[in-house]
Structure formats: C-alpha cells, structure tokens
Structure 1
C-alpha cells in the first residue's frame, strides 16, 4: 500500500484553484483544473518563484517571474520537455486530498 501525504480537505481546493503544501521540506502545488487534480513542485527551477502564483491555461502553469511554462500533467517544461520538475499522483477520497509519496 502506498504512503500518502495529507494535503487538505476537498472544500479547500475549488475548481480552478491551487493549494501549496510541503512535501519532504519543499513546496508542492496541488491544482484542481477541469475537474482533475494535479501536483507538481511549486518552485520554478529558473529562479525559484512560486509557480502556484502564476496563471494556468490548458493545464500549463506559467511562472509569474520569467514566464517559464510547466505542464501540470507531467511536470515537463512546455518549451523543452526534456526538463522536468517533480510531478506527483493525487488521490481524492472521503472529502480529503492526498499526494501519493514516491518510493
């Protein structure tokens, strides 16, 4: 059985919004977009900006500082998919949202 990290109650993450949690001492942004849940590292690898502070369009979040764009579906940089940030499986059950911890 996988280990889970509690994020928040479902009421704290409405459609089109994000919620930041700490996972192993680093920020992770959890998003509810088009009825789906996604989680990626919240720190842009370019200059460390909080990605969750940027706009989301077509399941791509844009860094608010220098406009690097990351896909919520797999953490890949939209302009060079070989560069990726952490991406995590999200589970919603019994009015709670969880991140499945990597092995």
Structure 2
C-alpha cells in the first residue's frame, strides 16, 4: 500500500475520521532529510499497510493543518489514532528505527 497525500481540505476525512491509525509525515520539497526518509516511509507503508495508513502533507502547499498542529520542524511524523495525535517523531532516521518506533506506538 503506497503512501497517500493529504491536504488541508482532506485532512478531516483522511486522517481524523479514519478507521485505522494514520501516520502523517509533514514535509516540504526543499527539505533534504524529508527526501531521505520518503523511500523508507513507502517501504513501511507496504509492510504495515494493513495496520496503519501512511500519509504525507506538503507544508508549503497546505498551511492550515501544520499551523494548527504547531509544526515547527520537519520532517515531523505524527501518529493519529481515533482522530487524536498520540505520538510524534521529529527528524530523519533510518528505516529500521522509524519502523520500530511506529510498531511500538501501534
């Protein structure tokens, strides 16, 4: 299962009203570390797709939700469960660390 793109307009339906946990990766095109973790997130999405949806939100194209969430540093990954943010991870990390963190939070 590939990552999905979410926008300010789709955030409510795609993330907050999702029937399974959603990991939102707040990123920007100019962010090197964001680009470094993108392939790892795609792989994790394929591996854990039954348990969690991995979504990406470009903070340059969508400013409302990142402002509401207080995004100050990217990459920022926020795990939502039942419409509530339950965990955050700031910064890039190797795939193994990202997957271990996510599995620990699920």
State TM-score, norm by structure 1.
Answer: 0.27
User: Which structure has the highest strand share of the two?
Assistant: 1
TM-score (norm 2): 0.26
| Structure with bigger gyration radius | 1
Greater relative CO (CA pairs within 8 A, separation 6+): 2
Higher helix share: 2
